[in-house]
Amino acid sequence: MAQKRKRRGLSFYEEKKKIKPGFWKEVFSYIFYLFMVTLIAFVLVLVFGMRVSTIGVSMEPTLAHGQEVLINRMSYILFKPECGDIIAFKPNGNEKSHYYIKRVIAGPGETVQIIGGQIYVNEKPLEKYSYDRIETAGLAATPYLLGENEFFVLGDNRNNSEDSRSGNIGAVQRDDIVGRVWFCFAKDNIAMGFVK
């Protein structure tokens, strides 16, 4: 039997490197995971991460002027705003306006009135929040009945807030609500955390 002789010495031919079959699978796996992480991050920012700065002192002591908050834009697609929620909205749907941030006091079908500095919702005093006595009742000086998709909002700094009592804002339409404020960043004496 003849044995194959191995050549020794110089060779001008290089052996082609073979790519292992699992190499491309691993590359596509990394690309897929990178795509999924990017997609999830994008969705989370879209849903929970709209960042807005408060303007003015109307939400003190809860939020300070210039304090940045995160808005959940998806929260009101399935559920309606609840009494006590802090919302961001464009007044009268004005896209050129800055975002207003206020607290929901009453919702569709409810009646709001301010008598003697006290808020009444459906003729019952709103004792859930203890703020300064209201000096100006504005539109709520007489019973204010909210329509089907309307919400009555007030700033926590009741006597220094442009809100649903003002004629140029009035009741906020559900379609004008951008989302619920759920997180605030630290500023002045207000710590970073979830908004209540």
Write out the chain in H/E/C secondary structure: CCCCCCCCCCCCCCCCCCCCHHHHHHHHHHHHHHHHHHHHHHHHHHHHCEEEECCCCCCCCCCCCCCEEEEECCHHHHCCCCCCCEEEECHHHCCCCCCEEEEEEECCCCEEEEECCEEEECCEECCCCCCCCCCCCHHHHCCEECCCCEEEEECCCHHHCCCCCCCCCCCEEHHHEEEEEEEECCECCECCEECC
Looking at 58, 75, 161, 164, which residue is catalytic? Answer: 58
Q: Is 97 a catalytic residue?
A: no
Q: Is 58 a catalytic residue?
A: yes
Looking at 4, 11, 16, 102, which residue is catalytic? Answer: 102
Non-local CB neighbours of 105 within 8 Å, separated by 6+ positions: 83, 112, 119, 121, 126, 152, 153, 154, 164
Work out whether strand 124-125 and strand 68-72 pair parallel, antiparallel, or are unpaired: unpaired
- Round to whole Å and give the CA distance between 41 and 67: 24
Known catalytic residues?
58, 102
